[in-house]
Amino acid sequence: MMDEAVEHIRKIVWNIVHQTTAFDLSTCLYDPRFSCCLRADVDSLFCTPDLLAMAFGQLVPEDASRRELADEVFRRLFLEQTPADEARRSVLTSLGLLGVNVAGRDLNAFRSQLDGLSVQECAEKVFTAANIGCIVSEADLFDEAVRSATEYAEPHDRRFRLSLSVDSIITDFKTAAPILKEWGYAVSDRLGKQTYTELLRLLGDWQQRLSPVFVSCNLQNPLDDDAKARKILTKVVIPFCVANQLPLAINGLEPQDALALQKENAELALWARPCGFGEFLDEFPAGMEYLGLCRGLMGPQCTAHCLRESLASVGFGFSAYESDSISLLQLPGRWAHFRWNLGLVLQDFYTDLARTGWMITEDEIRRDVRLLFGADKAAVLGLAGGSGSDN
């Protein structure tokens, strides 16, 4: 009887993992308004940095067009070799989920089936195939492509949202300061009240232009070792986030820094993206919120290890995956592979739980999977579909 119950739970888990809508809170996929930044063609799927490195090493032909590079990558990595690794298999998975018959091994046929679509039509197919409710991309205010695109007040697809990256002013303010002066902000490399006021004005200007759903930064060093970064973070970024009710997501946040920031800023919604694979989460303060503990093209073993360590440390108190996709067509494959790996881990997790005599319900599994897929954070951010519904 116990074996039958366990098998029933495993089937339910697998179905729920694949049916639940997810939210990808870290991509490089801008909405169609940023047409110069959004890659949504078949060649972009084959010209990612990892595949180019595998095909050419460090000698990527500089004078080749993207189409020529894609042809060569396809020949070298898919025709002359078996596509055994995660990067290549996820490409094939994406194409298959988008309705392309990869059995013909004809790159031109792949192009003919997808490249004739408009960006909006492509987005519809991708979001459906990946079962994604919304994606978020980091917008660097020093990226000229982003700056130029925001000059246009065109309507945009609400499934494409932005976070505001403040990396440049936190980790390299010495370089950023002269540029900000050229833009009309009276800042000084010697930090003081006027510079803090001007940086707040800068962030306010960009909030109006981008409507970010949260603020993000990458710390290169512990805050105790970087006085300037700590000052800008505590005097500018955190007050801006609190005043505008925007969560702050910090990559590379150390446990001691998380504790100090929480104590000093009770009103701040602080989200951490720690380094490592979930091993050190028990060193963070209780109640800490986590983003994207599995990212990009982690293989099955790394993904399973990260998920098991994270579940053991903080239960379901984290969003499990961020794809870091740079081509829109990557989303279906990367998410399909993650769902597969997550399903296997959760099947074992709930089986072990059932063997203790604690029988989990289907509604409880749905609740847990929605948390892992970021539904709670999507609701906080007001993202499209943020209730975390199932298909």
CATH at 83? 1.10.2020.10
For every residue of 85-145, DSSP letters joined together read: SHHHHHHHHHHHHTT--GGG--HHHHHHHHTTS-HHHHHHHHHHHHTEEEEEEEEETT-HH
- For the record, the structure tokens of 240 come out as 């801006």
> Within this chain, do residues 22 and 8 fall inside the same structural domain, yes or no?
yes
- 315 and 335 fall within a common domain: yes
Residue 356 and residue 285 share a domain:
yes
User: Domain check: are 107 and 163 in the same one?
Assistant: no
72 and 171 in a single domain? The answer is no
* Chosen domain end from 91, 114, 137: 114
- Structural domain including 124 reads 2-41+115-381
Residues 51 and 136 in one domain: no
- Domain end call among 114, 145, 162: 114
* 386 within domain boundaries: no
Virtual CA dihedral for 139, 141, 145, 148, nearest 10 degrees?
A: 120
Are residues 362 and 314 located together in one domain of the fold? yes
Q: Would 369 be classed as within a structural domain?
A: yes
Q: For every one of its 391 residues, what pLDDT tens digit does the chain have, with 9 covering 90 and above?
A: 467 888 889 999 999 999 999 999 988 887 776 666 678 899 999 999 999 999 999 888 989 999 999 999 999 999 999 999 999 999 999 999 999 999 999 999 999 999 988 888 999 999 999 999 999 998 888 888 777 766 554 546 788 898 999 998 998 898 999 999 999 999 998 899 999 999 999 999 999 888 899 999 988 877 877 888 899 999 999 999 999 999 999 988 888 888 889 889 989 999 988 765 555 777 888 888 888 788 888 888 889 998 998 898 888 988 999 899 999 999 999 999 999 999 999 999 999 998 888 989 999 999 999 999 999 999 988 886 554 445 5
Number of domains in the chain: 2
Domain assignment present for 388: no
User: In terms of domains, do 200 and 265 share one?
Assistant: yes
What are the distances in angstroms from CA 115 to CA 122, 299, 378? 9, 29, 31
Question: How far from 107 is each of 42, 53, 70, 157, 205, CA to CA, in Å?
Answer: 9, 20, 9, 29, 44
178, 130: one domain = yes
| 312 belongs to a structural domain | yes
192 lies in the same domain as 102: no
Residue 389 lies in a domain: no
CATH code where residue 151 lies = 3.20.20.140
Q: Is residue 302 part of a domain?
A: yes
How high is the pLDDT of residue 68?
Answer: 96
Residues 17 and 151 in one domain: yes
Helix, strand or coil, per DSSP, at residue 362:
helix
pLDDT reported for residue 389: 45
Three-class DSSP category at 48: coil
| Last residue of one domain, picked from the residues 114, 136, 165 | 114
142 lies in some domain: yes
* In a domain? residue 367: yes
**Claim to verify: residue 102 and residue 151 sit in the same structural domain:** no
